[in-house]
Structure 1
């Protein structure tokens, strides 16, 4: 809770309720999807983000849908508060994260009506955990959502982190869908923080880096009703993620200072203003930069050419039209493995 308070204080000081970079939200989508075996890279995802729906393909498009769901529901959670946790929200989230999954056997956004089990093999005899029977999924999920809305006396004596741990373990135990439960469950963690007025941390990178501990904590909670490991894991995930966020922000600020030393940009020019945008949009088009800065296409194009000349941006497509530009030094910082020290160029 001290780590959360530290970030809340920084957000209030900067008048920014989402001090986490847009890029880190996309890193969350990558890490959460990777836990489920859906592999993409930040470069691929950001590249897909500059494409049309028709152009985006494969796993990057799936991960982009996850990131888009975050962009949509986080402001809603902040505005609505705990009342945001409804069955419609869960179904919408599920629809968003599995709508492009090849071979998904059910209808995206619909509760499962089949028996499922956790564990290797096709025979339930060898399962390690059997989730809720299909006829009980709806009422059990309703209980989980009521708990997340703080609809009970527990809100008075259970801190947020305890409620996050319990709600997450219970949601995954219910396993309301045939696939996509992990991704939806991890989205709900960020929403629980936002709904209570806190900076919404994205915990999937920590979970991916400590996957064994995560599954062991879930198993203890779901099979033995031993909640201590799950609460400990959630606390460690919040502390680790908060620390990683501060390291990333510091590195990006140092990088921006390095860029400004690299060339004297005219004050107020498109290139100078773009330096504050690039950590959040390290892959963009001329049109995107023009919209972000509220300037004309020619002005944005001229700014990008100056940034290329300063070796801050590189053109990625090789096309004459619809070109996409990347800031590789920013990508190197935000795309590093969890816990690894960032590399910042000194000039």
Structure 2
């Protein structure tokens, strides 16, 4: 690769640090020297050529083809598996940020239990992923802001708004002085986001490589005060859907990244130094890992639902069959939530819930402030095992 074609490293600019507190502390008065820090100055990439080594290009192309094949392989099973894969992606993306919860806690939060903070935040990430897919045809700064708005709804972190203060990666929360990485000064964010989203909309690049680079550039910009990692991985899903790689399901790529988080973070660091190959390769490897893990999950779910049908023997098109299918894709629910989602009157749904509970398909429990809740424990176990596999480093 020639120097002309090499991907540029980020630059830097030296800025003065001003404390958020108006009055200097005693320590500041003791050492009144002005403090400075170096903030990143990312290159503009909207029209830049993307040159990959033959090995990296082949790896990315193979992973892209596997994503397309996996998506196509599910066919008429999309209705049942798509919501579960979406939740699995949201949970894995959250786990990269050290937010974890059981499938039962997450799904209970989804129907209104806000007592567990991690589970509630993961539900916000699920909704952000849903927003990302709904906005897949746009790929604009506004669509990214909408994803963040949904993700951070109800928090103090200015949902959907570009940051107006420095953000950094380092051990000190007091100041960016001496930090390992300081994102661009906030005045640059708007123009940089216009640029990276123009890059994301291009149709002349290998898609998986384009997705990886757009993600790395987004994480370098760090446009929000919080939630950048989760929003950036939602952007990955939006691009995969918008470019027809995953037309029907959300492949849990974050679960693949979770398999080796250190390598993922190292690849982002390398990108900032002008090395584009590592993040493309990590995205390809993560996609392959995610597909393998998702296939295991789907095989478990197929076995479970086949066993249910053999036990229950519902009549085709009956309300009982609808409730049974619903339990597979929404394995924690109340009678009211099932009634609303399925359009079956509450009075009519109770006999079906009793029947499925008697046959061992569902379990019923009174939850604090929630009333009676029904669970499909076999599905919850499969989801927790998926998360456990994702968090296990490859040997």
Task: With the length of structure 1 as denominator, give the TM-score of the two structures.
Answer: 0.84
Mapped partners of 2:353, 2:219: distance in 1: 46
Tell me if structure 2 keeps the 8 A contact 1:30–1:41: no
2:164 partner SS? coil
Alpha-carbon shift at residue 169 of structure 1 (Å): 0.5
Alpha-carbon shift at residue 276 of structure 1 (Å): 2.2
Tell me if structure 2 keeps the 8 A contact 1:45–1:63: yes
Flag structure 2 segments of 5+ consecutive residues without an equivalent.
1-63, 391-395
Runs of 4+ with >4 A deviation: 263-269, 318-321
1:124 partner SS? coil
The one of 76, 87, 90 equivalent to 1:29 is 90
Tell me if structure 2 keeps the 8 A contact 1:62–1:100: no
Structure 1 counterpart of 2:69: 6
The one of 238, 241, 256 equivalent to 1:206 is 256
The one of 120, 142, 146 equivalent to 1:88 is 142
Using a 3 Å threshold, how does the CA distance of structure 1 residues 309 and 212 change in structure 2: closer, same or farther? same
Using a 3 Å threshold, how does the CA distance of structure 1 residues 63 and 74 change in structure 2: closer, same or farther? same
Alpha-carbon shift at residue 323 of structure 1 (Å): 1.5
1:164 and 2:227 aligned: no
Alpha-carbon shift at residue 162 of structure 1 (Å): 0.4
1:213 partner SS? helix
1:198 partner SS? coil
1:279 partner SS? helix
Using a 3 Å threshold, how does the CA distance of structure 1 residues 317 and 206 change in structure 2: closer, same or farther? farther
Mapped partners of 2:97, 2:317: distance in 1: 45
1:325 partner SS? strand
Structure 1 counterpart of 2:8: none
Mapped partners of 1:70, 1:316: distance in 2: 30
1:135 and 2:187 aligned: yes
1:72 and 2:145 aligned: no
Alpha-carbon shift at residue 339 of structure 1 (Å): 6.8
Alpha-carbon shift at residue 284 of structure 1 (Å): 1.3
Mapped partners of 2:68, 2:181: distance in 1: 36
Flag structure 1 segments of 5+ consecutive residues without an equivalent.
342-347
1:329 partner SS? helix
Mapped partners of 2:149, 2:134: distance in 1: 19
Alpha-carbon shift at residue 221 of structure 1 (Å): 0.7
Alpha-carbon shift at residue 6 of structure 1 (Å): 0.8
Tell me if structure 1 keeps the 8 A contact 2:322–2:342: yes
Task: With the length of structure 2 as denominator, give the TM-score of the two structures.
Answer: 0.75
Give CA-to-partner distance per residue, 1:51-85, whole Å, 9 cap, x none: 27xx66633222222212222341332xxx2xx12
Moved more, 288-297 or 185-194: 288-297
Larger radius of gyration: 2
How many residues were matched structurally? 323
Alpha-carbon shift at residue 41 of structure 1 (Å): 2.6
Tell me if structure 2 keeps the 8 A contact 1:26–1:67: yes
1:311 and 2:356 aligned: no
Alpha-carbon shift at residue 228 of structure 1 (Å): 1.0
Give CA-to-partner distance per residue, 1:235-292, whole Å, 9 cap, x none: 0111111222222112111111112333444555433333322221111122333344
2:385 partner SS? coil
1:110 partner SS? coil
Give CA-to-partner distance per residue, 1:92-130, whole Å, 9 cap, x none: 2222222334xx4x5222211222221222453432222
Give the helix-richer structure, 1 or 2: 1
Mapped partners of 1:331, 1:175: distance in 2: 34
Mapped partners of 1:329, 1:50: distance in 2: 19
1:235 and 2:274 aligned: no
